[in-house]
Amino acid sequence: MTLQRAVIVGASHAGAQLAASLRQEGWNGEIVLVGDESALPYQRPPLSKAYLAGRSTLGELAIRSAEFYAKQEIQPLHATVQGIDRTAGRLVLSSGESLAYTKLALCTGARPRRLRTPGADLAGVYYLRTAADVELIREAATPGGRAVIVGGGYIGLETAASLRALGLEVTVLEAAERVLERVTAPEVSAFFERIHREKGTDVRTGALVEALTGDSRVREVVLSSGESIPADLVIVGIGVEPNTDLASAAGLLVDDGIVIDDRARTSDPGIVAAGDCASHDMARYGRRIRLESVPSAGEQAKVAAATMCGKSKEITALPWFWSDQYDLKLQIAGLNTGYDEVVLSGDPSRDRDFTCFYLRQGELLAADCVNRPRDFMFSKRVITDPTIPVDGLPITLEHR
């Protein structure tokens, strides 16, 4: 009998969970976890927080220990995959070698969106996606230095908080009229702008970057208004793009991510996908969504592992996210797309804890909970079970 081999391309959250779940689901063949970083899979959310601020080591961020992989007979392979031969059931590696598979999972993640302005390739311009990226930023982030962050999303704001803790002067440039504009209500944006300004960060909205200038290293960020902002380092956080090149070249269906069904199967039912690279039709929100979320990556990976083992499980978990900035923990339940009403519990213009509820025709879609874990847990239950009444929601929550 030929030995079965499951190959997982991508060794981050989804890949690591999928490998572990394969064993839990009863896969008794080989498992090869292919990653293009030499380190074992590690947690990425702390990179812009505790890791950048120097409060944790890479070893402490490991998702699982080396002993776990050895005990479960999961073989980590440091390699880059250049192509998929679906007919032959083989991967082509950058080394020129090939790797045969019986079952294949794509957990290729996403890469930072690049800044397309003159000077963006100067030394001193950084992106934050890997531990190696953070190490380069930390080397350049000397106390008293001037850091400019392009992008006022979660990564940009988390990085700003970490750099302020390291003693740098920080300017955040957001092209939109408010930070977090794509993902939060104006009240939540105003709250985070207030907090960052109170901590000494210069937050600029409606700020369009025209160019980066310097000799061999970036020295200034030039705005479309003509203003120049001095910079010792620039960190770009303007979103990510899914790594779909492998899937697309192999003829798999791609639509802002590798398209998967409720069982994590791609357009080739013999290949599954999970994580930031995957695009999934979510009936709860009536559209196809690609989630950049660790919990969602884990959920999809568990379902993908079951599918690879011939079992039938479906992706059903509610999307949720979190962000740590200074002493604030923002926990987000659900997706607020299409909301027509916002209800606040607490005063974000004054307090350091509050919840913003997003409703559509009286139904709770999502909640942004700042330092309110009980609201977060309750909101998850309500969103998952629409039969729970939401009339007078803040009052109900205040008395729970």
User: What kind of fold does domain 5-111+242-308 have according to CATH?
Assistant: FAD/NAD(P)-binding domain (3.50.50)
Is 395 a residue whose pLDDT tops 50?
A: no
* Separation CA 92–CA 90 (nearest Å): 7
247 in Cβ contact with 237 (< 8 Å): no
Please give the share of the chain, as a percent, with pLDDT higher than 70. 96
- The pLDDT-based confidence of 2 (bands split at 50, 70, 90) is low
Is 293 a residue whose pLDDT tops 50?
A: yes
Is 396 a residue whose pLDDT tops 60?
A: no
314: Cβ contacts below 8 Å, ≥ 6 apart: 262, 263, 303
Q: Please, is 4 exposed, middle or buried when counting C-beta atoms within 10 Å of its C-beta (0-12, 13-18, 19+)?
A: middle
Neighbours of 375 (CB within 10 A): 27
pLDDT digit string (tens) for 123-143? 999 999 999 999 999 999 999
Angle (nearest 5°) at CA 285 between 308 and 388: 105
Q: How would DSSP label each residue in 342-394? A: EEEES-TTT-S-EEEEEEETTEEEEEEEES-HHHHHHHHHHHH-TTS--TTHH
Q: Please, is 184 exposed, middle or buried when counting C-beta atoms within 10 Å of its C-beta (0-12, 13-18, 19+)?
A: buried
At 256 the pLDDT is: 94
Neighbours of 139 (CB within 10 A): 9
Segments making up each domain of the chain, as ranges? 5-111+242-308, 125-236, 327-398
At 284 the pLDDT is: 77
User: For the chain, what is the largest distance between any 2 Cα atoms, rounded to a whole number of angstroms?
Assistant: 70
Is 323 a residue whose pLDDT tops 60?
A: yes
252 in Cβ contact with 83 (< 8 Å): no
Note whether 5-111+242-308 and 125-236 share their fold.
Answer: yes
Q: What does DSSP assign to residue 292?
A: -
At 389 the pLDDT is: 67
What is the pTM assigned to this prediction? 0.93
Task: State in words which class domain 327-398 has.
Answer: alpha beta
> Does the domain spanning 125-236 belong to CATH 3.40.718.10?
no
